[in-house]
Structure 1
Amino acid sequence: MSETFVVVGGGLAGAKTVEALREREFPGRVELICEEEAPPYERPPLSKDYLAGRAEVADFAVHPREWYVRNDVELRLGTRATGLHPGSHEIELADSTRLGYDKLVLATGSRPRRLPLPGTDSRGVHYLRRLGDADRLAAALRRVERLVIVGAGWIGLEVAAVARSYGVEVHVVEAARQPLLLSLGPRMGEFFADLHREHGVTLHLSSHVSEIMTPSGVTGVRLTDGSELPADAVLLAVGARPELGLAEGAGLDIDHGVLVDTGLTTSDPDILAVGDIAEVRHPSFGGLRVEHWANALKQPAVAAATMLGHSASYTELPYFFTDQYDLGMEYHGFVPAGVEERVVVRGSTDEQRFVACWLDSSERVLAAMNVNVFGVAESIRGLIHSGASVVPERLVDTAYSLDDIEALRKRPVGSA
């Protein structure tokens, strides 16, 4: 009897999973359950080129609709999964339909975090996660004069850059003392703060919102110090929460995300998880869950191999990127919480062209960020994977190549 593999989640991770199954010539039935009405698309352009009007949906759709037909993938658009029943191997849909499966992949992604404040659901308050969110926000940016963004993470800063391109006055409210503090630390956070100030963004750091003022639509936000920021629109960009409801209801093992092994299998051998929700037992970092585009792109191939009975492991370094104004950045690696580290810079932050490296106490490179320096990704990954203790003075000296790990390596005391 032919097997049925079901994938729940209509984002990049879900689409890439069904693609990988067909590429590996799985002959059975494949169903992709998508809560949105649009076929799967990539999300990074929503806060970048699409929001700025420089891209169309077709430019970042994972596949055209015809691909699903040609590859015999049953694409269920506008369909929400409401329950998962591992005992009977069934997924339950909002209309009470139950679909049987032999193997199932959870690729349910994340949803925006909400703030427990007055006014957050009022007209003129925006979130950015889905295509419809981006359409509404883009329409707002074309007509408003003042935007307040709550949250100076990646989404908040990318939208700030796009809003400035529309000529909108932008204020960003951030609870931490620098933007991107948890992601990059204070030194690189300050670099991004300066970048946005140079482009006319007003930052309110170490600040908290007490209320969104909405007597009749948004008029501004009030901070906890009593000050008020007038606004015609507000974007709440305070992070995302993984969509764990199906996994929790099914009794799967969960910590910060759905716990999976290196093959992306959950505590149930017939259920896998990929993308934002997957907390992977990474060989270098232990339990690791990151909401990065690269995971959604690359984990599905491993999941498909595992489903088909092949040995596969997800060992990729975390990777993400951003585009803000004329700045392009890539980040490779991971700095675990609580690890003592320092940042050294190769190049010039003043010229906005450099590679920043995060070193641990043994002077091994944990992560690196290249800003307006391209073609070095492979070199950076090799340096991190080497586990070599480096000489920081050589690492920042452009006379030494990032490829020459032996030249950068710190020699043990007494070695030749």
Structure 2
Amino acid sequence: MTERVVIVGGGVAGVSTAASLRSGGFDGEVTLVDLGEFPYDRPPLSKDFLAGAKDIKQIALQPSQWYDDQRIRLINRTAVSALRPREAAVELADGHLLPADRVVLATGGGAARPPIPGIDSERVHVLRTADDADRLRPSLVPGARLLVVGAGLIGAEVASTAVRLGCRVDLVDPVAVPLAGALGPELGAWLHGLHAAHGVTTVQASVESFEERRTGIEATLTTSAAPRLYDAVVLGVGMVPCTELAQAAGLEVDRGIVVDERRTTSHPAVLAVGDPARVRRGGVLQPRTEHWEAARHDGARAAATLLGTAPPEETVSWFWTDRHARHVEAVGHMDAATHTVVRGSFDGPSCAVFGLRDGLVVAAASVDDPSAVRAARRMIDRRLPVDAARLADTSVKPRDLLRG
């Protein structure tokens, strides 16, 4: 019988697990252990929080009173040093043992730091935590020379924030059209072109090395004849799942903590959710999903497992991002489409791209048109046949597309 649940990690997956346990009727002890002062939301770190428009309390996932109201014990500023499932306990960094019938690992991930010479310089930043943002913020002053390495979601958002703050920004990526697999090549290229329109210099290249100089840090790029000098560098080249606790406990780990569809690890008393979890479905390991909504759904799924109730239905993956005052949403897997349909104009106030395969929508992405993506999500989940001409017709409202 499960009476004591310990959740390790206070990101959206961990908080979602705790909230879903209580909303599902769990009356036992719920303890959430987190390294920070309190659990906070991470998407604002590259936008409003980095710009100084919001402070840490304004990006809290829940107000402090919520934990008391929900009878969730929050142990903050504390690390977990070991899992002891055989002893039904979790060991904290100070040696204290927390009783735990079941443990949920919501340990998240750390920023990837590729083996580039000179990458350990204090001028080279990453952005995964509020502390990272606090360290980077003083460098983002008008006229500062900033290099952003990686033009994916984090890199594009940081570049957008920095140029708005008056920095001179170079954005470097080895791929000609970043995010083409998620957004499609047409929309991906147009969005990447927004950087130049807002004063960001984009360079298709890789970084070979960094070297400290008295007046900054030099970066040698594969396409440049001479090094370029910057005041600061931000790496946005992906994340590495935090699997150390799982490995030390002898759980199955394979580029993530391996779980089944109910988010149970190779030890039945331990579950894993969010960024580090890697689902085995039908005997096949799936790619990890590193998006906010996926982490929230993971928490709900883990709670259902602990409660012994039916898990929520799976739904197609969805994410959003913001850059240069444009809001982007995407759903599904655009690289699975055989052809695309464009709705609206890229240069208009809003637009959307639908990815089709065998007469079905398999993906969609939009700029300032979230209703199109919401409709596409329902089309994908319900496997509704579609008429490409109606998809492209902006006079047809997105909700009407669901009626055939």
**Are the equivalent residues in 2 in contact too, given 1:17–1:303 (CA < 8 A)?**
yes
Matched residue, 2:221: 223
Displacement after TM superposition at 1:384 (Å): 1.1
Take 2:254 and 2:215, find their aligned partners in 1: how far apart are those partners?
A: 39
> Mapping of 1:4-403 within 5 angstroms?
4-36=4-36, 38-142=37-141, 145-205=144-204, 207-216=205-214, 218-225=216-223, 226-280=225-279, 287-335=286-334, 339=336, 341-351=338-348, 353-360=350-357, 362-403=358-399
Displacement after TM superposition at 1:172 (Å): 0.8
Q: Structure 1 residues 2, 277: closer, same or farther in 2, change over 3 A?
A: closer
- The superposition leaves residues 253-284 of structure 1 with CA deviations (integer Å, 9 ceiling, x where unpaired) of 3334323333222232222111112223579x
Q: Structure 1 residues 202, 352: closer, same or farther in 2, change over 3 A?
A: farther
Structure 1 stretches (4+) deviating beyond 6 angstroms?
A: none
State the identity as a percent. Answer: 39
Q: Which amino acid is the alignment partner of residue 297 of structure 1?
A: R
Q: Which amino acid is the alignment partner of residue 67 of structure 1?
A: W
**Are the equivalent residues in 2 in contact too, given 1:219–1:232 (CA < 8 A)?**
yes
**Are the equivalent residues in 1 in contact too, given 2:375–2:401 (CA < 8 A)?**
no
Take 1:69 and 1:403, find their aligned partners in 2: how far apart are those partners?
A: 41
Take 2:340 and 2:210, find their aligned partners in 1: how far apart are those partners?
A: 37
Take 1:2 and 1:14, find their aligned partners in 2: how far apart are those partners?
A: 18
Take 1:248 and 1:351, find their aligned partners in 2: how far apart are those partners?
A: 50
Displacement after TM superposition at 1:143 (Å): 5.8
Take 2:380 and 2:337, find their aligned partners in 1: how far apart are those partners?
A: 16
Q: Structure 1 residues 399, 368: closer, same or farther in 2, change over 3 A?
A: same
Question: Structure 1: any 5+ residue segments left out of the alignment?
Answer: 409-416
Displacement after TM superposition at 1:216 (Å): 4.2
Q: Structure 1 residues 143, 327: closer, same or farther in 2, change over 3 A?
A: closer
Matched residue, 1:413: none
Q: Which amino acid is the alignment partner of residue 379 of structure 1?
A: A
**Are the equivalent residues in 1 in contact too, given 2:182–2:333 (CA < 8 A)?**
no
Report which stretch shifted further, 315-324 or 211-220: 211-220
Take 1:269 and 1:167, find their aligned partners in 2: how far apart are those partners?
A: 52
Report which stretch shifted further, 218-227 or 271-280: 218-227
**Are the equivalent residues in 1 in contact too, given 2:364–2:373 (CA < 8 A)?**
no
Q: Which secondary structure does the structure 1 equivalent of 2:48 belong to?
A: coil
Q: Which amino acid is the alignment partner of residue 345 of structure 2?
A: S
Take 2:311 and 2:114, find their aligned partners in 1: how far apart are those partners?
A: 40
Q: Which amino acid is the alignment partner of residue 203 of structure 2?
A: H
Report which stretch shifted further, 250-259 or 70-79: 250-259
TM-score, normalisation: structure 2: 0.92
Q: Structure 1 residues 399, 148: closer, same or farther in 2, change over 3 A?
A: same
Q: Which secondary structure does the structure 2 equivalent of 1:375 belong to?
A: helix
**Are the equivalent residues in 1 in contact too, given 2:390–2:401 (CA < 8 A)?**
no
Take 1:51 and 1:159, find their aligned partners in 2: how far apart are those partners?
A: 8
Displacement after TM superposition at 1:111 (Å): 0.7
Q: Structure 1 residues 334, 260: closer, same or farther in 2, change over 3 A?
A: farther
- The superposition leaves residues 335-369 of structure 1 with CA deviations (integer Å, 9 ceiling, x where unpaired) of 46xx4533321110122511111222x13211111
Report which stretch shifted further, 350-359 or 228-237: 350-359
Take 1:114 and 1:55, find their aligned partners in 2: how far apart are those partners?
A: 27
Take 2:305 and 2:232, find their aligned partners in 1: how far apart are those partners?
A: 46
Take 2:19 and 2:182, find their aligned partners in 1: how far apart are those partners?
A: 31
**Are the equivalent residues in 2 in contact too, given 1:148–1:229 (CA < 8 A)?**
no
Take 1:315 and 1:218, find their aligned partners in 2: how far apart are those partners?
A: 49
**Are the equivalent residues in 1 in contact too, given 2:147–2:230 (CA < 8 A)?**
yes
Q: Which secondary structure does the structure 1 equivalent of 2:266 belong to?
A: coil
Displacement after TM superposition at 1:125 (Å): 1.3
Q: Which secondary structure does the structure 1 equivalent of 2:265 belong to?
A: coil
Take 1:308 and 1:175, find their aligned partners in 2: how far apart are those partners?
A: 46
**Are the equivalent residues in 1 in contact too, given 2:337–2:355 (CA < 8 A)?**
no
Matched residue, 1:412: none
Q: Which secondary structure does the structure 2 equivalent of 1:276 belong to?
A: coil
Q: Structure 1 residues 384, 281: closer, same or farther in 2, change over 3 A?
A: farther
User: How many residues align structurally?
Assistant: 402
Q: Which amino acid is the alignment partner of residue 345 of structure 1?
A: V
**Are the equivalent residues in 1 in contact too, given 2:261–2:279 (CA < 8 A)?**
yes
Take 1:30 and 1:130, find their aligned partners in 2: how far apart are those partners?
A: 24
Q: Which amino acid is the alignment partner of residue 372 of structure 1?
A: D
Displacement after TM superposition at 1:29 (Å): 1.7
Q: Which amino acid is the alignment partner of residue 112 of structure 2?
A: R
**Are the equivalent residues in 2 in contact too, given 1:281–1:288 (CA < 8 A)?**
no
Displacement after TM superposition at 1:45 (Å): 0.4
**Are the equivalent residues in 2 in contact too, given 1:209–1:224 (CA < 8 A)?**
yes
